[in-house]
């Protein structure tokens, strides 16, 4: 997936290779925070049984944030983007590309990215959404990297933003305890050094049915089932395979080995998936960022949320190497090795 970097001014001596580097990050979580017990009490009122003990043991999740009616993927995405711009010391007017990864857009169209662009008060640059479910942020990052390397963009906001609470069936305990809402953003800028060292993207539509929200809008109505449905164990198995393959591929492309990676930043779906992936790599959990306990699974927002929180806590620091990996509905998966 990673293209050869563009050589500005030809291939001769003095020419400059273009790369994309992270200039700043930001995030946004809705103020409403529910513990497992809060959710269990809410479900009990409808006769649905679950418990803090089951959720913690099977997933590692303890809290999730749910958006109130006035919030949306675009409003949270815009807040995360503003934080990323501030962290980078960059004016919104300098941004020439916005890619928003979301499976819960504000509307069928225009794209959430265009709505974010409007909220940032900027005009004219490219803006579009990417729909790759929980791998969406990695897809968006990789596309932006390619555009920056080829000179098509110089400053790109890459945003993952989701309101999964709006597609959850709160009568289905196998899914409604797993997900949360939020947004994360990264400002990428053109640089003469990486940055994003390597990335890969994959999909296998044969697994489309194991994780889906199959409903659609037609003739003024929602047709079909508008809720998220998941075959949990099938997704779990697929996730483990996808993460293993991604690690190997990205490290090979980057010419690195796992000992040169400071932080493994996985899509935050289930602590057991992360523990299995780390064990297979011989990586101690101290080098794996974990936010699933605090945020639940926020789909495309989970990786940039985890990254931004770790940067703001001083865990991830400049000069470190980060291995980002996502997997989810589609089935989709991918990863990126980043020198931060």
Q: 17, 33, 54, 90: which one contacts ligand UT7 (CB under 6 A)?
A: 54
Least distance to ligand UT7, CB of residue 230, Å = 7
Stretch 305-334: interaction string toward ligand UT7, x if CB under 6 A: -----------------------x------
Does residue 173 bind ligand UT7 (CB under 6 A)?
A: yes
CB of 90 to ligand UT7, least distance (A): 31
Under the criterion CB under 6 A, does residue 37 sit at the interface with ligand UT7?
A: no
Contact 198, 25 (CB under 8 A): no
Q: Is 42 in the site for ligand UT7 (CB under 6 A)?
A: no
> Annotated catalytic, 176?
no
Q: Is residue 298 near ligand UT7 by the rule CB under 6 A?
A: no
Give least dist CB 43 to ligand UT7, A: 8
Does the active-site annotation cover 114? no
Beta strands in 155-259 (DSSP E): 155-163, 181-191, 196-203, 211-212, 216-218, 221-223, 229-230
Piece of the chain touching ligand UT7 by CB under 6 A; list 88-96, 228-236, 248-256, 312-320: 228-236
Under 8 Å between Cβ of 147 and 190: no
Report, in Å, the least distance between residue 201 CB and ligand UT7. Answer: 16
Q: How far is the CB of 78 from ligand UT7 (least distance, A)?
A: 24
Distance CA 132, CA 44 (A): 33
SS3 316: coil
Q: Which residue is nearest to ligand UT7 (CB)?
A: 232
Applying CB under 6 A, does 174 fall inside the site for ligand UT7? Answer: yes
Host H or E run for residue 178:
none
Closer residue to ligand UT7, CB minimum distance, 144 or 177: 177
Q: Which of 28, 100, 114, 134 is catalytic?
A: 134
User: Which string of b and e fits 215-251 if b means at least 16 CB within 10 Å?
Assistant: eeeeeeeeeeeebbbbeeeebbebbbebbebbbebbb
Angle at 215 between CA 211 and CA 220, to 5 degrees: 165
Establish whether 100 is a catalytic residue: no
For residues 150 and 133, give the distance between their C-alpha atoms in angstroms, rounded to a whole number. 26
Q: Nearest to residue 178, comparing CAs of 136, 223, 227?
A: 227
| Contacts to ligand UT7 by CB under 6 A | 50, 54, 58-59, 134, 173-174, 177, 232-233, 235-236, 239, 269-270, 273, 297, 328
């Amino acid at each position: 997936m990673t293209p050869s970097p563009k050589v500005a001014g030809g291939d001769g001596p003095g020419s400059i290779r273009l790369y994309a580097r992270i200039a700043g990050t930001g995030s946004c979580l809705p103020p409403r925070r529910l513990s497992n017990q809060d959710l269990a009490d809410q479900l009990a009122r409808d006769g649905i049984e679950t418990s803090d003990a089951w959720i913690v043991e099977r997933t590692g999740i303890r809290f999730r944030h749910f958006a109130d009616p006035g919030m949306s993927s675009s409003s949270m995405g815009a807040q995360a983007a503003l934080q990323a711009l501030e962290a980078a010391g960059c004016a919104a007017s300098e941004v020439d590309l916005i890619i928003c990864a979301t499976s819960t857009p504000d509307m069928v169209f225009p794209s959430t990215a265009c709505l974010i662009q409007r909220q940032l008060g900027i005009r004219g640059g490219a803006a579009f959404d990417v729909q790759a479910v929980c791998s969406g942020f990695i897809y968006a990052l990789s596309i932006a990297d390619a555009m920056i390397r080829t000179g098509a963009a110089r400053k790109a906001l890459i945003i993952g933003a989701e309101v999964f609470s709006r597609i959850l069936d709160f009568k289905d305990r196998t899914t409604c305890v797993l997900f949360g809402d939020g947004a994360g953003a990264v400002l990428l800028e053109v640089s003469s050094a990486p940055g994003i060292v390597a990335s890969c993207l994959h999909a296998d539509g044969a697994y489309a049915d194991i994780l889906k929200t199959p409903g659609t809008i037609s003739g003024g109505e929602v047709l079909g089932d508008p809720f998220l449905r998941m075959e949990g164990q099938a997704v779990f198995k697929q996730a483990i395979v996808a993460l293993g393959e991604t690690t190997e591929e990205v490290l090979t492309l980057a010419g690195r080995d796992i000992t040169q990676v400071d932080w493994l930043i996985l899509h935050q779906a289930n602590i057991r998936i992360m523990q299995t992936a780390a064990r297979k790599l011989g990586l101690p959990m101290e080098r794996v960022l974990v936010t699933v306990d605090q945020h639940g699974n926020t789909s495309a927002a989970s990786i940039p949320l985890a990254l931004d929180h770790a940067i703001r806590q001083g865990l991830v620091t400049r000069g470190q190497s980060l291995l980002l990996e996502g997997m989810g509905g589609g089935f989709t998966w991918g990863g990126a090795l980043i020198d931060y």
